Amino acid sequence: MASQAPSSDIQALFNRIAPVYDQLNDQLSFGWHQIWKRMAVKWSGATGGDRVLDLCCGTGDVTLLLAEAVGPQGQVYGVDFACELLVVAAERENRMGATGEERPRVVWQSGDVLGLEFPDQSFDAATMGYGLRNVVDIPQALRELHRVLKPGAQAAILDMNHPMNETLRRLQRWYLDQFVVPCATRLGMRDEYLYINPSIDRFPRGPEQVAIAQEIGFTQATHYPIAFGMMGVLVLKR
C-alpha cells in the first residue's frame, strides 16, 4: 500500500494546482463532476434556512450549490487548508454577482478538517468533495465531522472510489495514467497529478468507509458507488 504524504506536502500541492483546478476538473470528467456534486448536496439533506458546512471546499463548487440549497436565510461555511483555493472560491462567488434572494454570502475560512474551529453540534448538514481521500487521518476527520453536526444531521462525502471490480480499477488506472496525467502535464502540473493513483490505492473502499463511520458513532452510514464504481458518495447521519 502506498504511504500517505505529510499534511504539509498535500497542502502545498493543492495551493500549486489552484489556478488550473477547475479547468482540469471540467476536462477530465467531461463535466460529469458537476452532476456528482449536485448529487452530494442533495444527499446531504441541506434545506432552506439551514446552517451548513462544506469541508475541503476547494474552489467552491459544492459550497455554492449548498448556498443555493439553503437560500438567503441559511448560513454557509466553506473550509479548506489551501489558501490559494479559497482565493479562487471567493473570486468565483464575486463573479456570480449580488446574492439577492437566491443564496447567502459564504464564509470562506482557512482550516484543517482534523481540528475544526467550530463548537459541537453547530451544523444542520455538511458536504466534502474530493477531500477525505487526501487527509492524513481519515478516522479523525470523520470524528470532527461527527462532532460539529447536530443530532440527526446528515453529511455527504463525494470522492474517487477504488472499484470492487479489479477490471474497472485497471481501466480507472489506465485513464488516469494515459489521459489525466498528460492533460496535467500540458498545464505544467504533471507531478501534482501523479499522486491520484496512489491515493486511490490507499483509500478505504466503500464498505471500509462505512465501518469506520459506524465505529465513530454515526447512526447511519451508506456508501453509494457511482460512475461504474469509480466514484462514490458516503452518506452519513449523526
As for how many domains the chain has, the answer is 1
Looking up residue 192, the CATH number of its domain turns out to be 3.40.50.150
Instruction: Give the C-alpha separation, 68 to 49, whole Å.
Output: 11
Kind of pairing between the strands at 149-160 and 123-129: parallel
> What number of CA atoms fall less than 13 Å from residue 131's CA on the CB side?
29
Residue with cell 443530532: 151
- Specify if 1 maps to a domain: no
DSSP assignment letter at 177: I
Per-residue pLDDT tens digits for 79-90: 998 888 899 899
Residue 235's H or E segment, with its range, is strand 231-237
Mean pLDDT of 196-214: 94
Residue 12's pLDDT is 64
pLDDT at 3: 45
In whole angstroms, what is the distance from residue 37 CA to residue 34 CA? 5
Half-sphere exposure of 227 (CA within 13 A, CB side): 22
**pLDDT, tens digit, for every residue of 64-79?**
999 999 999 999 999 9
Can you list the alpha helix ranges (DSSP code H) found in 58-108?
61-70, 83-95
| Mean pLDDT, the chain, integer | 88
Task: Please give the angle made by the CA atoms of 195, 173 and 15, to the nearest 5 degrees.
Answer: 25
Q: Tell me if 135 is assigned to some domain.
A: yes
Which residues, in sequence order, are bridge partners of residue 126? 53, 155
Predicted local confidence at residue 182, as pLDDT:
85
Average pLDDT for residues 6-20, to the nearest whole number? 61
Question: What is the model's pTM?
Answer: 0.87
The reply to whether 65 falls in a domain is yes
Residue span of the structural domain in which 80 resides = 7-237
Q: Is residue 50 part of a domain?
A: yes
Residue 10 confidence class, pLDDT cut points 50, 70, 90: low
Buried-state track 187-205, b at ≥16 Cβ within 10 A, e below 16: eebeebbeebbebbeebbb
* CB distance 122 to 153 below 8 Å: no
Q: What torsion do the CA atoms of 15, 230, 44, 134 make, to the nearest 10 degrees?
A: -30
Q: Which of 101, 100, 103 is closest to 60 using CA atoms?
A: 103
Q: Assess if residue 203 is contained within a domain.
A: yes
Please tell me the least confidently modeled range out of 25-29, 172-176, 211-215: 25-29
Domain assignment present for residue 2? The answer is no
Rounded-to-integer distance, Cα 78 and Cα 184, Å: 26
Task: Indicate whether 39 belongs to any domain.
Answer: yes
Spatial separation of the C-alpha atoms in residues 65 and 156, rounded to whole Å? 13
Q: Is residue 20 part of a domain?
A: yes
